[in-house]
Amino acid sequence: MADELSRVFAALADPTRRDLLARLSVADATVGQLAAPYHVTVQAVSKHVRVLQDAGLVSRDGHSHRRPVHLEAEVFDLMTRWIERYRLQAEERYRRLDAVLAAMDDDAENTNPPRQESA
Amino acid sequence: MADELSRVFAALADPTRRDLLARLSVADATVGQLAAPYHVTVQAVSKHVRVLQDAGLVSRDGHSHRRPVHLEAEVFDLMTRWIERYRLQAEERYRRLDAVLAAMDDDAENTNPPRQESA
DNA sequence: CTATTTCGCAACCGATCGGTTGACGATGAC
DNA sequence: GTCATCGTCAACCGATCGGTTGCGAAATAG
């Protein structure tokens, strides 16, 4: 299957699944309890829970049939770290742009420019 | 169409699109430049760019045919805020759980824990 | 014990997705 | 002007998705 980040983002792309997470952030719940507010079948909600579970967003350490679904908050750190990479890289880029503009400003001498390329 | 958050998450669920964002965080690029490293057609990459654009993750303020694609970093704030909601709510929940456990410890008349959540 | 409830599995359906090929319009070079 | 290049639009294809129905297994209620 796809990598974890893809699974996480795909799981969050559905409003119903995001609502499930919102409710699970308040308290654990069984599939039946989770399905109650919606007008879809229990099986559909069961599938949603399965998707969230495959993405590592929820867990069900129970053994019984009515085991509750539990939110796994650690996975959000993965996303946060991914997002932060872009924020930092974007800032870095703007810094580089400023440096280039400054260099162009006093570009009288053709010396070796800071050709630092990030691998 | 779906709400913005769903569009953003769905756009990020594809590894190729995430790679496009990674490269765009370094520098703007045209569709042709973006398509070069991949072994897919330029039409496929054009579609990917379209998806990113509909999600608000990139923009193309140009008018010409070879207008460059530009990363829009602000949308990441939307995600960060959404994720932070869950982090805070999860912490809040653990605080509540501690309070419940303390109350149960104090009030030892009923051995069965309050499995009924406050409806 | 039997009966009921809860939930997962499998099959199916329409819609969407990621990709292709082909044709087309608009830009830019000559 | 002509012509090649770049990018998008359109149609199509296989795979996946969100949803349903139906069935069955396991835990609970009586």
d(CA A37, CA B107) in angstroms, rounded, equals 32
- B19 has pLDDT over 60: yes
- B50 has pLDDT over 90: yes
In the prediction, which pLDDT does B97 show?
63
d(CA B7, CA B79) in angstroms, rounded, equals 11
d(CA B109, CA B91) in angstroms, rounded, equals 29
Please give the residue of chain A at the shortest CA–CA distance from B79: A83
At residue A115 the predicted structure's pLDDT band, cuts being 50, 70 and 90, is very low
DSSP output for A48-116: HHHHHHHTTSEE----STTPPBEE-TTHHHHHHHHHHHHHHHHHHHHHHHHHHHHHHHT--S-------
Q: Is B25 on the interface with A (CB under 8 A)?
A: yes
- Encode pLDDT of A37-95 as tens digits: 999 999 999 999 999 999 999 999 766 678 899 999 888 888 888 888 887 777 777 77
In the prediction, which pLDDT does B107 show?
46
pTM of the complete model: 0.81
CA proximity to A39, closest of A54, A19, A9:
A19
CA proximity to B118, closest of B94, B100, B105:
B100
- What phi-psi label fits residue A84: left (phi over 0), alpha (psi between -120 and 50 degrees) or beta? alpha
d(CA B11, CA A6) in angstroms, rounded, equals 10
Q: Which range among A8-12, A42-46, A108-112, B32-36 shows the weakest confidence by mean pLDDT?
A: A108-112
Strand D contact residues in chain A (44-83), C-beta within 7 Å: 44, 47-48, 51, 63-66
At residue B69 the predicted structure's pLDDT band, cuts being 50, 70 and 90, is very high
Per the structure, the residue whose CA is closest to nucleotide D18 at C1' is: A44
In the prediction, which pLDDT does B14 show?
97
At residue B2 the predicted structure's pLDDT band, cuts being 50, 70 and 90, is confident
Protein CA at A114 to nucleotide C1' at C26, angstroms: 39
Q: Is A29 on the interface with B (CB under 8 A)?
A: yes
Decide: helix, strand or coil at residue B70. strand
d(CA A12, CA B8) in angstroms, rounded, equals 10
- B22 has pLDDT over 60: yes
At residue B99 the predicted structure's pLDDT band, cuts being 50, 70 and 90, is low
- B113 has pLDDT over 50: no
- Chain A residues lying within 8 Å of B86, measured CB to CB: 21-22, 25, 71, 73, 76
User: Is the distance from CB of A17 to CB of B29 less than 8 angstroms?
Assistant: no
- B109 has pLDDT over 60: no
